[in-house]
Amino acid sequence: MYQIRSACAQDVPSMVSLILRVQSLLPDPSIFFVDEGLPHFIEEHYRTSYVAATSSGELAGLLIVVIPTPEENLGLDISLPPEDLPHVLHMDTCVVAPEHRGHHLEQRLLDHAEKHIDTSRFHILLCTVSPNNPASLHSVEKTGYRIASRTIKYGGLDRYILIRNLQKTDR
């Protein structure tokens, strides 16, 4: 059984460790982009993050939600109208430890986050997924996202940009 909850400051070291471990175990490291600023990134965004924890408290998965800066808004990559850009949230980083896969934690984390979004302010959810990560793509699509574009991001990596509009019933 897993408890999905908001992340707290005490989770930051475990979040960094989980992301680095998951990335190091991938057969193709380009599937999941991690840069040297990861600890600072998590420190900056843990307040808008969610974790899936086991009954013993071990982190099994996590989701980092980011309010994008105007320059980094993925909505620009998919030509969203300018008036929609302030309503975008990035479902930025989602990882599940290999030993906890198969429990739909990515979907459960996304669903949990959606329930806590102020939809009067944010209703367009965007994320990126590597075309070489069919499991994650399938999981995100099952949660109601659809591919909006395929582009090059993160210094040359092939990515789908997926969108979910909470003001439309697209599930």
Residue 122 CB neighbour total at 10 angstroms: 15
On the question of pLDDT at 111 being above 60, the answer is yes
- The whole model's pTM is what? 0.94
Residue 114 CB neighbour total at 10 angstroms: 17
Residue 171 lies in a domain: no
The CATH number linked to 8 is: 3.40.630.30
Structural domain range at position 67: 2-165
Residue 29: band (very low, low, confident or very high) from pLDDT cuts 50, 70, 90: confident
| 19 torsion bin: left (phi>0), alpha (psi -120 to 50), beta (else) | alpha
Cα separation, 117 vs 112, whole angstroms? 9
3-state secondary structure at position 171: coil
Residue 26 lies in a domain: yes
Structural element, H or E, at residue 136: helix 134-142
Domains contained in the chain, number: 1
